Structure 1
Amino acid sequence: MVVSTPAMAQVGTVLPAPPVPPSDLDTPAEADLGTQDNAQQADDVGLGEIVVTAQKREQRLRDVPVAVTALTAEALVNRGISDVASVTRAVPSLTLTQGQNPVNNSINIRGIGTSAFSTGVEPAVAVILDDVALLQQAQAFSGLADIARLEVLRGPQGTLFGKGASAGVVNIATQAPGSELTVSIGGQWSQEDYRVETAMGGPVNDWLGVRANGFYVNRDGYLTNLSDNSKQGNEEAYGARLRADITPTDRLNVSLTASYSRNKNDITRTFRYVAPNLRIFAVQPFFPGNLVAPGIVGVTPGPENRNVRLNADSLSDSRQQMYTGRITLDLGFANLISVTGYQDWKLDVQEDVDMTDLPSIGNNPGGVTQPSQFHARQFSQELRLVSQTSGPLSYVLGLYYSDGDTDRAFRRFAFGPGAQFWDSRAGTESYAAFGQATFDVTPTTHIDGGIRFNREIIDVEFTDRRANATAASCGTTCTGRASDNQVTYKIALRQDVTDDVMAYASYATGYKGQGFDVTSGFNPARANNPVKPETSKAYEIGLKGQFFDNWVQMNLAGFWTDYDNFQTQVANFVGGVPTFNLANAPRLRSRGIEGDISVRPFRPLRIDASASYVDAKIREFGNAGCYPGQPFVVGSTPTEPGVCVGATPATGTQDLAGARLANSPKFKYTIAGTYTVELPALPFDGFLQADWTHQSSVNFDIGGNPRALQEGYGVLNGSVGIESDQFRLSFFVNNLLDKAYVTSIGAAAGSTTDAGVNNTNLGLIQFVPRDARRYVGVRARLNY
Structure 2
Amino acid sequence: MTLYRLLSAAALTAFLPAMAQAQTAPAAPQAGLEEIVVTAQKREQNLQSVPVAVTALSGDALASKNVATVSDLPRLAPSLTVTQGNVPTNNSINLRGIGTSAFSTGIEPSVAVIVDDVALLQQAQAFSGLSDIARIEVLRGPQGTLFGKNSSAGAINIVTRGASKVLSGGATLRATTDEEYRVDATLAGPLGDNIGFRINGFYGDRKGYINNLTDGRRFNNDASYGLRGRLEIRPAAGLKIDLIAGHSVSSSNGTARTFLQVPTGATVFGAAVAPSIADIAPGYGNYAVRIDGPLYNKSVQSTFIGKASYDLGFADLVSITSYQDWKFRFAEDFDYLTGTVLGLSGGIVANSTYHATQFTQELRLVSPARKPLTYVLGLFYSDGATTRTFDRGPSGPVVARWSSRSGTISYAAFGQATYSFLDRNHIDVGLRYNHEKVSADFINLVPNASPPAANATCLATCSGVANDGVVTTKVALRRDLADGVMGYVSYARGYKGQGFDISSGFTPRRAANPVKPETSNAYEIGLKSRFLDNRLQLNVAAFWSDFNNFQAQSGILLPDNTIQLTLNNVGRVRTRGVEIELSAKPTPALRLDGSVSYTEAMIRSFPGAQCYTGQTVGCVDLDGAGPSTTTGQDLSGKRLANAPRLKFNIGGTYTIALPKAAFDGFVQLDYNYQSRVNFDLLQNPLTQLAPYGVLNASFGITPKGRGVALTVFVNNVFDKHYASNIAMATGGSIGLLSQTLGRDSRRYAGLKAHVEF
Whether the TM-score (by the shorter chain) exceeds 0.5 is yes
Structure 2 vs 1, CA of residues 649 and 772 (structure 1 numbering), >3 Å: closer, same or farther?
farther
| Structure 2 letter corresponding to 1:426 | S
Q: Paired residue for 1:662, among 641, 648, 668?
A: 641
Is the CA contact 1:686–1:721 (under 8 Å) kept in the aligned structure 2?
A: yes
Aligned twin of 2:553: 569
Equivalent residue letter for 2:174: Q
Q: Are 1:362 and 1:414, in contact at CA under 8 Å, matched by a contact in 2?
A: no
1:329-478 matched pairs, under 5 angstroms? 329-358=310-339, 360-388=340-368, 390-413=370-393, 415-469=395-449, 471=452, 472-478=456-462
Question: Within 5 Å, which residues of 2 pair with 1:715-730?
Answer: 715-724=694-703, 726=706, 727-730=708-711
CA distance in 2, matches of 1:649, 1:767: 34
Tell me which amino acid in the other structure corresponds to 1:449: V
Letter in 1 for 2:267: R
Give per-residue Cα distances to partners, 1:185-214, cap 9 Å, x unaligned: 101101211111101011111111111111
TM-score (norm 1): 0.90
**CA–CA separation in structure 2 for the residues paired with 1:326 and 1:634:** 55
Residue 173 of structure 1 aligns with an amino acid whose one-letter code is V
Alpha-carbon distance between aligned partners in 2 of 1:389 and 1:61, rounded to the nearest angstrom: 14
C-alpha contact 1:127 1:170 (8 A) present in aligned 2 = yes
3-state SS of 1:410 partner: strand
Q: Which moved more, 1:616-625 or 1:267-276?
A: 267-276
- Does 1:702 find its partner at 2:681? yes
Aligned residue type for 1:198: A
Select 2:278's aligned residue among 297, 312, 315.
297
**1:534 matched to which residue of 2?**
518
Match of residue 199, structure 2, among 212, 221, 232: 212
What is the SS of the residue equivalent to 2:242?
Answer: strand
The one of 744, 764, 772 equivalent to 2:737 is 764
Q: Which amino acid aligns with 2:740?
A: F
Deviation at 1:648, TM superposition (A): 4.4
**Equivalent runs, 1:57-456 vs 2, <5 Å:** 57-191=43-177, 192-266=179-253, 267-282=255-270, 291-358=272-339, 360-388=340-368, 390-413=370-393, 415-456=395-436
- State the match for 1:50 in structure 2: 36
The Cα of 1:775 is off from its aligned counterpart by: 0.9
Superposed displacement of residue 681, structure 1: 1.9
Structure 2 residue 563 is the aligned partner of structure 1 residue 578: yes
Verify the 8 A CA contact 2:36 2:56 in the aligned structure 1: no
- The one-letter amino acid of 2:260's match is R
- Tell me which residue corresponds to 1:746: 727
**Alpha-carbon distance in structure 2 between the residues aligned to 1:490 and 1:145:** 33
After superposition, the Cα gap between the structure-2 partners of 1:116 and 1:549, relative to the gap in structure 1 and judged at 3 Å, is: same
In the alignment, the residues of structure 2 paired with residue 646 and residue 652 of structure 1 have an alpha-carbon distance, to the nearest angstrom, of: 10
Structure 1's 50 and 229: CA in aligned 2 closer, same or farther, altered over 3 A? closer
Cα distance 1:579–1:51, how it changes in 2: closer, same or farther (>3 A)? closer
Deviation at 1:299, TM superposition (A): 2.6
CA shift, 1:226, in A, is: 1.2
Deviation per residue, 1:519-547 (Å, 9 max, x gap): 00001111100000000110000011111
Query: Contact 2:416–2:431 at 8 Å: present in 1 too?
Result: yes
SS of residue in 2 equivalent to 1:294: helix
Q: How far apart are 1:115 and its partner, in Å?
A: 0.9
Q: In structure 1, how many angstroms separate the alpha carbons of the residues matched to 2:620 and 2:497?
A: 35
CA separation in 2, counterparts of 1:539 and 1:688? Answer: 40
CA drift of 1:50 comes to 3.3
What letter is aligned with 2:258? Answer: T
Q: Deviations over 1:655-714 (max 9, x none)?
A: 001111110111111111010111222222111111111111111011111111111111
Q: Out of 56-65 and 215-224, give the one that drifted further.
A: 56-65
- Aligned counterpart, 1:757: none
1:277 Cα shift? 4.6
AA aligned to 1:293 is: A
1:292 deviates by 2.3
Separation (CA, whole Å) in 1 of partners of 2:46 and 2:118: 24
* C-alpha displacement of 1:414: 5.3
- Distance, in Å, in 1 between the alignment partners of 2:603 and 2:593 is 33
Cα offset, 1:52, TM superposition: 3.0
Query: Aligned in 2, Cα 1:160/1:345: closer, same or farther, shift over 3 Å?
Result: same
Which of 557, 566, 574 is the equivalent residue of 1:589? 574
CA drift of 1:242 comes to: 0.7
Q: Residues of 1 paired with 2:29 and 2:325: CA distance?
A: 44
Give the fraction of aligned pairs with identical amino acids, expressed as a percent. 50
SS of the equivalent of 1:76 reads helix
- Structure 2: how far apart are the matches of 1:440 and 1:635? 57
Question: What do the CA deviations read for 1:753-773 (whole angstroms, capped 9, x no partner)?
Answer: 5xxxxxx43x22110011111
Tell me the alpha carbon deviations over residues 199-245 of structure 1, each in whole angstroms, 9 at most, x when there is no partner.
Answer: 10111111111111110111111111111233222220110001111
Do the aligned partners of 1:666 and 1:696 also contact (CA within 8 Å) in 2? yes
Q: Is the 8 A contact 2:260 2:286 kept in 1?
A: yes
Q: Return 298-307 or 197-206, whichever deviates more.
A: 298-307
Structure 1's 743 and 493: CA in aligned 2 closer, same or farther, altered over 3 A? same
Mark the CA change 1:205 to 1:99 in structure 2 (over 3 Å): closer, same or farther: same
Q: Which moved more, 1:456-465 or 1:564-573?
A: 564-573
Residue 779 of structure 1 aligns with an amino acid whose one-letter code is K
Cα offset, 1:623, TM superposition: 1.4
Structure 1 669/650 Cα, relative in aligned 2: closer, same or farther at 3 Å?
A: farther
1:711 match: 690
CA distance in 1, matches of 2:183, 2:682: 43
The SS at the match of 2:414 is strand
Q: Which moved more, 1:255-264 or 1:411-420?
A: 411-420
1:244-302 CA-to-partner distances (Å, cap 9, x unmatched) read: 111112211111111110111122111122344543345xxxxxxx5322333233322
| 1:397-430 per-position Cα deviation (integer Å, ceiling 9, x unaligned) | 0000000010000000155331011000000000
SS in 2 for 1:99: coil
Instruction: State the 1:445 CA deviation.
Output: 0.6
Q: Once the 2 structures are TM-superposed, how far is the Cα of residue 633 of structure 1 from its aligned partner?
A: 6.7
Matched residues in 2 for 1:351 and 1:433: separation? 43
**Does the Cα contact within 8 Å between 1:573 and 1:650 map onto a contact in 2?**
no
Is 1:569–1:582's contact at 8 Å kept on the other side of the alignment?
A: yes
Match of 1:418, SS state, is coil
Q: Which amino acid aligns with 2:235?
A: P
Does the residue aligned with 2:342 lie in a helix, a strand or coil? helix
Per-residue deviation at 1:44? 4.6
Superposed displacement of residue 647, structure 1: 4.3
Report the aligned-residue RMSD.
1.8
Q: Which residue of 1 aligns with 2:544?
A: 560
Matches of 2:34 and 2:330, distance apart in 1 = 47
> Aligned residue for 1:26?
none
How far apart, in 2, do the equivalents of 1:538 and 1:608 lie?
Answer: 27
Measure, in 1, the Cα distance between the counterparts of 2:575 and 2:510: 29
What SS does the aligned partner of 1:215 have?
strand
1:31 alignment partner in structure 2: none
Structure 1 stretches of 5 or more lacking a match? 1-35, 283-289, 639-644, 754-759
CA distance in 1, matches of 2:723, 2:48: 37
3-state SS of the aligned residue for 2:146?
Answer: helix
Q: Which amino acid aligns with 1:544?
A: K
Deviation at 1:746, TM superposition (A): 1.4
Residue 6 (structure 1) aligns with: none
Residues 459-498 of structure 1 aligned to structure 2 (within 5 Å):
459-469=439-449, 471=452, 472-498=456-482
User: Separation in 2 of the partners of 1:278 and 1:480?
Assistant: 41
For residue 587 of structure 2, the aligned residue among 602, 613, 619 is 602
Partner SS state of residue 625, structure 1: coil
